[in-house]
Amino acid sequence: MRYVLDTNAVCALMKGDAIVLGRLDRAGRQGVAMPQPVLAELAYGLSRLPRSKRKERLRRRFDRIRGELARSSWTDEVSERFGEIKAELERRGARVEDFDLAIAAHALAAGATLVTANLSHMARVPGIEIQDWASGETTG
């Protein structure tokens, strides 16, 4: 796996963002994965929406994306990375929300680049490589 998608990257795919879809096509779906915390965040977001055509449309897109992309499983290595990252950021006084840390830990454990639009926030994570497929920006 070369890339791990953050929740906002998957949301961009669900919305049909042409730039992000193009980057996914160039990267090749076989090298891209979604971590389980992203699935949890999206399931929560969809569950909060009132019954509507928009919700149905987003649910269908989410199901399609889930069917096309591999998962990044929560392994012991991911848990170790999570603990290390959280402790380091707390020592520096640069806290990051646990779900974001979990997503970053998946990318680090896999040796993958994290795809996110939240560059400044995720750049706090030591040793992580980040790309924003919508803007083309890269850090790390």
Per DSSP (E only), the strands in 23-68 are 32-35
Which residues are within 8 A (CB) of 21 and not within 5 positions of it... i.e. 6 or more apart?
13
Looking at residue 16, its amino acid is G
pLDDT on residue 137: 67
pLDDT on residue 95: 85
In angstroms, how far is CA 25 from the centroid of its own chain? 17
pTM, two decimals, is 0.90
- For the chain, the domains span 3-139
Spell out the per-residue pLDDT of the chain, length 140, in tens: 699 999 999 999 998 999 999 999 999 888 999 999 999 999 999 999 999 999 999 999 999 999 999 999 999 999 999 999 999 999 999 988 999 999 999 999 999 999 999 888 899 999 999 999 988 767 66
CATH number of 3-139: 3.40.50.1010
User: Where does residue 135 rank: exposed (0-12), middle (13-18), buried (19+ CB within 10 A)?
Assistant: exposed
